[in-house]
Structure 1
Amino acid sequence: MAKQAFYSKKYLFRSNINKKIRKNFIRTYIWSIALYGCETWTLTKQDMSRLEAFEMWCWRRMERISWTERVTNEEVLNRVGTKRQLLQNIENRIGRMIGHLIRHDDFIKNIVEGKVEGKRGRGRPRYSYIKQIKEKVKVVTYKEVQELALDRCKWKELQRQELGS
């Protein structure tokens, strides 16, 4: 859907408007469509590589760089004057969302923490949302994630450290 939105407004992104304005258009118009609901995504390595590829696709289209020109991603980022930000944006949204859910006693918190009754299916268990959060904040148990998130100042500082590294 985000590519379709890009193509519908490509005259804006490829025009002679200031590059800074075009970048802001892409971040607000295209990325908002692409990242809709990303707070609840469980990202695998394949998903991350696809999102990075989509980000580079947007920048290449904005700069009118064909895939046959053999321009490296680093060179494209230098031309645009930015760094990779899409995955950091997603991680920041996930961190804010899980912190909010843990601090509030809501029905959604019960869903996130709850277990589904019944038999588990065959095969390898899926990569869970809670496991992703535990790996991100570098703790072993969900109880430790809860303790961190209940102190809002510590949780925000942890999120800032994640973005800085």
Structure 2
Amino acid sequence: MVVSRKETPPNINIYINDTKLQQRDQFKYLGALISSDGRDTTEISSRIAQSKTMFRRMKNILTNPHMSIETRKRVLECYFEPILMYVCETWIISKQTRGMLEATEMCFLRRMMRIPWIAKKTNDTVLSETKTKRALINKMRKRQATFFGHIMRRERQEHLVTTGMFMGRRGRGRLLVRKRLTGWRLG
């Protein structure tokens, strides 16, 4: 696989024992989906789909009205957040991905409370009924800040790439996505 900003990545030919390796647009490495365009929207969509599939499997437990909502929220936190937030330290949380993740969080809460979409209840009403607040994005940002601190303490290749202290020039054109460091709440 070639990671490139170009529309069509260049073709490469790699041979091992006279066998040509097939070039891929994306592949899974240690459970994370890596794509040739270098973006993480496919990985985030994949994580959301995996967590929704797991929710459907455990629907009987999570929608059980005889269990307290606190117990169901703890089950959700223990089983679904690790699936959803795996490798979130490397994600760039843009406005689009933030919306996708917040919608997923609200989808889980609505399904746990058995609130249909046609009930016309706002997200704030659902949050007040479950006595909770949105926490997924803040947890991700906290994990990203922890990971960033870990990289900055180790002065290896990751540190060089993060600080931009390597030889060469940046390609022409505008940056794809910028992260604003101001306004991050880690609590």
Q: TM-score range by the shorter chain?
A: 0.7 to 0.9
Structure 2 residue runs of 5 or longer lacking an equivalent are 1-49
For the residue of structure 2 that corresponds to 1:21, the secondary structure is helix
User: In the alignment, which of 74, 91, 101 is matched to residue 41 of structure 1?
Assistant: 91
Where do 1:88-127 residues align within 5 Å? Answer: 88-114=138-164, 120=171, 124-127=174-177
4+ runs deviating over 6 angstroms: none
Give yes or no for the alignment of 1:5 onto 2:54: yes
CA RMSD after TM alignment:
2.2
Match of 1:51 in 2: 101
Residue in structure 2 matching 1:61, options 103, 108, 111: 111
Cα distance in 1 for residues equivalent to 2:167 and 2:109: 42
Alpha-carbon distance change, 120 to 10 in structure 1, aligned in 2, over 3 angstroms: same
User: Mapping of 1:82-161 within 5 angstroms?
Assistant: 82-114=132-164, 120=171, 124-127=174-177, 132=179, 135-137=180-182
1:19 to 56, 64, 69: 69
Matched pairs, number: 136
Q: Secondary structure at the match of 2:86?
A: coil
Name the SS of the counterpart of 1:163 in structure 2.
Answer: coil
* TM-score (normalizing by structure 1): 0.73
- Residue 153 of structure 1 corresponds to which residue in structure 2? none
Distance in 2, Cα, partners of 1:116 & 1:36: 32
**Residue matched to 2:122:** 72
Give 5+ residue unaligned stretches, structure 1: 139-158
Distance 1:64 1:49 in 2: 22
Q: TM-score, normalised by structure 2?
A: 0.65
Partners of 1:29 and 1:97 in 2: how far apart? 22
Bigger relative contact order (CA 8 A; separation at least 6): 1
Higher helix content, 1 or 2: 1
Q: Radius of gyration: which is bigger?
A: 2
Task: Tell me the SS of whatever aligns to 1:36.
Answer: coil
2:77 partner amino acid: R
More strand by share: 2
Taking every aligned residue pair, what percent have the same amino acid on both sides? 31
DSSP 3-state at the match of 1:65: coil
